[in-house]
Amino acid sequence: MEQTLNLKQAILDLKKKKNAIILAHYYQIPEIQDLADFIGDSLALSQKASEVDNDVIVFCGVHFMAETAKILNPGKQVLLPDLEAGCSLADSAPVDDFAAFKKMYPDHVVITYINSTAGVKVLSDVICTSGNAVQIVESFPRDQKIIFAPDRNLGSWINKITGREMVLWNGACHVHDMLTTEAVLKLRLQHPDAAVVAHPECNAAVLQLADYIGSTNGMLKFVKSDWHVKYIVASETGIIHQMYKDAPGKEFLVVSANETCSCNDCPYMKLNTLEKLYKCLLNETPSIELDDEIIEKAAVPINRMLTISRSAGLI
Ligand code: 13P
Ligand code: SF4
């Protein structure tokens, strides 16, 4: 306990000394969420990263998030506590395979989920997050042909609600995709008074059972304002910490991928620890480094996303 307090104080002291800001995603461990200067989902974090004036950004999230922060702030140092904090969804679209796929659809625009590598972003016309995907897609004329990558679950949910027929890349987040209807229905039988909230990275069968589908911030807003007092949450476990803070007195039950393990803890997000956060601030490594050309090209679709999101009043 005392060691944790000392570590937290040491992080705060270093942060001040180095004029650093700590940005964290809701899937981080609670200790990191509580220590961060700013906590958000992918959309809120990208917006925040676009307006930071500190010298150093410590990104407590995964690699593609830190990479996005670097693309938006090429002159700043961007640190990621553990360089191994990757993403199975971003990994599901290797850049060469994606380039070959894109060539098969020369008259399509490419809308890419932010959970992708910088190389895939370079091949994209506009980026989206789960918090703005519908508005980004709807910003194109109805007859515009679209490739949506890399999340097939998010893509098919958007196809369903917009009536479009976007061509989908066949990728998925292993954490959300693993959640089953059996697990949701079991909880629903035990708690008939609970509402089901789900992230659109879940598969279509699970989404079918949800009373509300939305991004991390969307789900947080929903449980705060909705009248239910109990929720079954089909998403990553980290979100629960903020749900209890935002909606005190309510109860949250996480859909487990499996009875014997907490498989819906994202193993990449959970690689970041207070100790690694301290060490990366102290040693200023691991630091995100990208080619200038990649930064310049990947910034175009990311900034396009931010512009559309601003004009849609989403950020
Ligand atoms: P959001 O936080 O944007 O909802 O995305 C969820 C996720 O899986 C992040 O990796
Ligand atoms: Fe990637 Fe899924 Fe982890 Fe998000 S939860 S970082 S999409 S593996």
pLDDT (tens digit per residue) in 178-235: 999 999 999 999 999 999 999 999 999 999 999 999 999 999 999 999 999 999 999 9
Alpha helices in the chain (DSSP H): 2-17, 30-35, 42-49, 63-72, 88-91, 95-103, 118-122, 133-138, 152-162, 174-177, 181-190, 204-208, 216-225, 239-246, 274-283, 292-311
Spans of the chain, pLDDT less than 70: 1-2, 260-263
Please name the residue whose Cα sits nearest to atom 5 of ligand 2. 266
CA dist., res. 238 & res. 215, Å (int): 13
Q: Which residues contact 100 (CB under 8 A, 6 or more apart)?
A: none
Which tokens hold the place of 40?
A: 């958000």
Minimal CA–CA distance to 269: which of 10, 70, 39, 14? Answer: 39
Please name the residue whose Cα sits nearest to atom 6 of ligand 1. 216
CA dist., res. 60 & res. 27, Å (int): 9
One-letter amino acid for residue 145 of the chain? K
CA dist., res. 15 & res. 205, Å (int): 44
CATH superfamily of domain region 89-172+298-311: NadA-like (3.40.50.10800)
Report how far ligand 1's centroid is from the alpha carbon of 216 (Å): 6
One-letter amino acid for residue 209 of the chain? L
| Contact assessment for residue 234 and residue 202, using Cβ atoms and an 8 Å cutoff | yes
- Identify the pLDDT of residue 1: 66
CATH number attached to the domain at 175-254: 3.40.50.10800
Which tokens hold the place of 25?
A: 């995603």
| Contact assessment for residue 211 and residue 197, using Cβ atoms and an 8 Å cutoff | yes
Ligand minimally distant from the alpha carbon of residue 93: 2
Task: Please indicate whether residue 73, judged by its CB atom, sits closer than 6 Å to ligand 1.
Answer: no
- CB atoms near residue 13 (< 10 Å): 12
Which residues belong to CATH 3.40.50.10800 in the chain? 2-85+269-289, 89-172+298-311, 175-254
Give residue ranges with CB within 6 A of ligand 2: 62, 87-89, 115, 173-175, 236, 266, 268-269
| Contact assessment for residue 92 and residue 64, using Cβ atoms and an 8 Å cutoff | no
CA dist., res. 110 & res. 146, Å (int): 6
Which tokens hold the place of 272?
A: 């970041």
CA dist., res. 226 & res. 77, Å (int): 40
Task: Please indicate whether residue 132, judged by its CB atom, sits closer than 6 Å to ligand 1.
Answer: no
- Identify the pLDDT of residue 315: 86
On the question of a cis peptide bond just before residue 286, with omega within 30 degrees of 0, the verdict is: yes
The pTM assigned to this predicted structure is 0.96
Report how far ligand 2's centroid is from the alpha carbon of 63 (Å): 10
Class (C level, CATH) for 2-85+269-289? alpha beta
Report how far ligand 2's centroid is from the alpha carbon of 13 (Å): 31
Q: Which of 129, 154, 174 to mutate to test the pocket of ligand 1 (most atoms within 8 A of CB)?
A: 129
Place of tokens 């691991």: 286
- Identify the pLDDT of residue 4: 76
For 256, the 3-state DSSP assignment is coil
Report how far ligand 2's centroid is from the alpha carbon of 200 (Å): 12
Ligand minimally distant from the alpha carbon of residue 150: 2
